[in-house]
A and B are shown apart, each in its own frame.
Chain A
Amino acid sequence: MIQFEQVFKRYPGGHDALSDLTFTMESGEMAFLTGHSGAGKSTLLKLVALIERPTRGQVLVNGRNTGGVSRRRIPAFRRQIGMVFQDHKLLQDRTVHDNVALPLVIAGVGRRETSRRVRAALDQVGLLDKEGLYPVMLSTGEQQRVGIARAIVGRPPVLIADEPTGNLDPDLSLEIMCLFERLNEVGVTVLVASHDLALLQRLGHRRIALAEGRITEDEAHAAPGHATA
């Protein structure tokens, strides 16, 4: 589902963010990316979402080589990937419903179908009753759940999250991670970057540890009922 083959990424200015990265995530797998800030976690996720392109090597997502995706095809490509951000990137001047509906509006889904799917997504993250509120009226944890609802409303086969629990206390963090686990159980490939090692150890799952742009550890923790690489 996500495949990196000898990927190098050098930013303008000469900083090597990733060097010689090779790993494969199977469809339906869940994995965590760990490492200190600056280890290359964000860069790796950016390569998956085609926000950045590799300097060398190949990145395959959904069986597609991202190198072959032209600038014009990037929007269609990104609709296959759900993205969750640390600062959740919600639009403050729109209601929860409208925020979650944005991917469907962009994809040109009809209004009735949009409404139905937005409610289904909000139900999954447990915020169905907050539909008409604005993001500022919600707690940080709730805002992050709205961000997750927006990421999954288009039913993408791949979900990537960059430090989704970075601003949350331990209880809320666990709640968010459990939400990712539930999504993984219904078949979504989930890749989460996080530096909260204590939390990750409780959860299990495969962990890919990065340091200075290289994989230092790729542990497959057997979580019940999941295929591991």
Chain B
Amino acid sequence: MRPQATPRRRKRRGARRQAATPKPPRRKSGFEFRVPGPRGLARWISRHAQTLVGTLGRLTRQPAGTAMTIAVIGIALALPAGLQLLVANFQGLSGQWDDSVELSVYLKPGTTEDRARELRDQVAAMASVSETELVTADQALEEFRESSGLGPTLAVLEDNPLPHLVVLRPAQDHASPGQIDSLAETLRSLPDVDLVQADTEWVRRLYAMLDVARRIVILAAVMLAVGVVVIVGNTIRLDIQNRRDEIEVSKLIGATDGFIRRPFLYLGFWYGLGGGLLALLLVEGGLVMLSEPVARLAGLYGSNFRPEGPGIAGGLALVGAGAALGWLGAWVSATRHMRRIEPGQ
């Protein structure tokens, strides 16, 4: 056993060495690439932190202008955000309505009641079906007799002309028009099934309307995002003009474009962040204003629907989008206008 065990152990050791050797240098070089060294990194961070705070101070020194810029950005962002919320809430509402979609499965005349029960059980076992109800031919006739008032007339009939009926509801996550259609198709192919009725027309219309609304939201969002970039860009352009001397002197004593651009980028970031926060405030405020009358309206329709807010993820996305657009607007504007300021010309 021993002579066998030793080479195997040796082999394993060799394999480990082979696997281990190429790794450390790779990790080392990657590390060296990313970080310029603890000192340089700390300096870089402190320089950026200084600019971040410095630009915030600059903004607070001209509160009126800052407030106006932020208000414009906030309103521009609140519009698509509010529309998006509206669509999302409608979608949630349509989810509630999906429950009321029913499929009626009429069985072939002459199918026995036992077979009907069997079929009902088979359908109920499907993953895409949530509720089922069997209405036998006798029950149906009874119901019809009571509701129509044709009791004596119907007594003339020798046989019950009505078929058995299975009424079912699709499961919550299988309620889109396409899924309902395919469910109806499956049901149609079952033996002893005569006719399947599904009223998906209005669901289709609702979904089509939501599609249109969603497109409108995207359109509005894109247009207003461009608007925000332009607003921030214009504000930064004016700021650059006001700081022409400073930029010129900085260039004369060896400032890089990046150095000159940095404070303007942070200004754009602050404008965007402020605008995003204001937009969130506007959306939440609008929601508070609307929630009570909407709840009353929903109550009149027997629903306990409550409009939903953007939530934490939505809020962060809104504020983040604002900050990113502000940064972008500042970058575009600063890069364009800074180049024009050259010393000595």
> Does A associate with B in a complex?
yes
Residues of A within 8 A of B (CB): 46, 49, 51-52, 75-79, 83, 89, 91, 102-103, 106-108, 110-111, 150-151, 154
For A110, give its contact among B43, B246, B249, B259 (CB under 8 Å): B43
Chain B residues near A89: list those with CB within 8 A.
245, 248-249, 252
Chain A residues near B343: list those with CB within 8 A.
51
Compute how far the CA of A113 lies from the CA of B255 in the bound complex, rounded to whole angstroms.
Answer: 19
Nearest chain B residue, comparing its CB with the CB of A151: B253
For A108, give its contact among B47, B245, B250 (CB under 8 Å): B47
Given A46-B344, A51-B344: A106 and B255 interface contact (C-beta under 8 Å): yes
Q: Contact at B253–A78, with CB atoms within 8 Å?
A: yes
- Give the interface size bracket for B toward A: 10 to 19
Compute how far the CA of A96 lies from the CA of B39 in the bound complex, rounded to whole angstroms.
Answer: 28
Chain A residues near B257: list those with CB within 8 A.
75
Nearest chain B residue, comparing its CB with the CB of A49: B252
Q: Contact at B256–A75, with CB atoms within 8 Å?
A: yes
Distance (whole angstroms) from the CB of A146 to the closest CB of chain B: 12
- B23-48 residues at the A interface, CB under 8 angstroms: 43, 46-47
Chain B residues near A111: list those with CB within 8 A.
46
Chain A residues near B285: list those with CB within 8 A.
none
Q: Contact at B250–A106, with CB atoms within 8 Å?
A: yes
26 A-B pairs whose Cβ atoms sit less than 8 Å apart in the complex: A46-B344, A49-B252, A51-B252, A51-B342, A52-B344, A75-B251, A75-B254, A75-B256, A75-B257, A76-B254, A78-B253, A79-B254, A83-B253, A89-B245, A89-B249, A91-B245, A91-B249, A103-B254, A106-B253, A106-B254, A106-B255, A107-B254, A150-B253, A151-B253, A154-B253, A154-B254
Chain B residues near A46: list those with CB within 8 A.
344
Given A91-B249, A106-B259: A78 and B344 interface contact (C-beta under 8 Å): no
Q: Contact at B245–A102, with CB atoms within 8 Å?
A: no
Given A91-B246, A108-B47, A110-B43: A103 and B253 interface contact (C-beta under 8 Å): yes
Distance (whole angstroms) from the CB of A41 to the closest CB of chain B: 13
Compute how far the CA of A165 lies from the CA of B51 in the bound complex, rounded to whole angstroms.
Answer: 35
Q: Mark each residue of chain B from 65 to 83: 1 if its CB lies under 8 Å from any CB of chain A, else 0.
A: 0000000000000000000
Compute how far the CA of A46 lies from the CA of B344 in the bound complex, rounded to whole angstroms.
Answer: 8
If over half of B's interface residues share one DSSP class (helix, strand or loop), that class is named, otherwise mixed; here it is helix
Nearest chain B residue, comparing its CB with the CB of A83: B252
Interface-centre pick from B43, B254, B259, B342 (highest chain A CB count, 10 A): B254
Chain A residues near B342: list those with CB within 8 A.
51
Q: Mark each residue of chain B from 217 to 252: 1 if its CB lies under 8 Å from any CB of chain A, else 0.
A: 000000000000000000000000000011011111
For B252, give its contact among A52, A78, A107, A108 (CB under 8 Å): A78
Distance (whole angstroms) from the CB of A131 to the closest CB of chain B: 19
Given A91-B245, A108-B43, A108-B47: A75 and B252 interface contact (C-beta under 8 Å): no
Compute how far the CA of A102 lies from the CA of B251 in the bound complex, rounded to whole angstroms.
Answer: 11
Report the 5 A-B pairs with minimum CB-CB distance, sorted nearest first.
Answer: A79-B254, A78-B254, A51-B344, A75-B256, A106-B255
For B253, give its contact among A102, A108, A110 (CB under 8 Å): A102
Distance (whole angstroms) from the CB of B43 to the closest CB of chain A: 6
Distance (whole angstroms) from the CB of B52 to the closest CB of chain A: 15
Chain A residues near B251: list those with CB within 8 A.
75
Distance (whole angstroms) from the CB of A106 to the closest CB of chain B: 4
11 A-B pairs besides A52-B344, A78-B254, A154-B253 with CB distance below 8 A are: A49-B252, A51-B342, A51-B343, A51-B344, A78-B253, A79-B253, A83-B252, A89-B252, A91-B246, A106-B256, A108-B47
For A75, give its contact among B47, B248, B249, B255 (CB under 8 Å): B255
Nearest chain B residue, comparing its CB with the CB of A90: B249
Distance (whole angstroms) from the CB of B16 to the closest CB of chain A: 45
Chain B residues near A102: list those with CB within 8 A.
249-250, 253
Distance (whole angstroms) from the CB of A154 to the closest CB of chain B: 8
Distance (whole angstroms) from the CB of B213 to the closest CB of chain A: 49
Distance (whole angstroms) from the CB of A162 to the closest CB of chain B: 10
Chain A residues near B252: list those with CB within 8 A.
49, 51, 78, 83, 89
Chain B residues near A150: list those with CB within 8 A.
253
Distance (whole angstroms) from the CB of B250 to the closest CB of chain A: 7
Compute how far the CA of A140 lies from the CA of B246 in the bound complex, rounded to whole angstroms.
Answer: 20
Chain A residues near B255: list those with CB within 8 A.
75, 106
Nearest chain A residue, comparing its CB with the CB of B252: A83
Chain A residues near B344: list those with CB within 8 A.
46, 51-52
Nearest chain A residue, comparing its CB with the CB of B339: A71
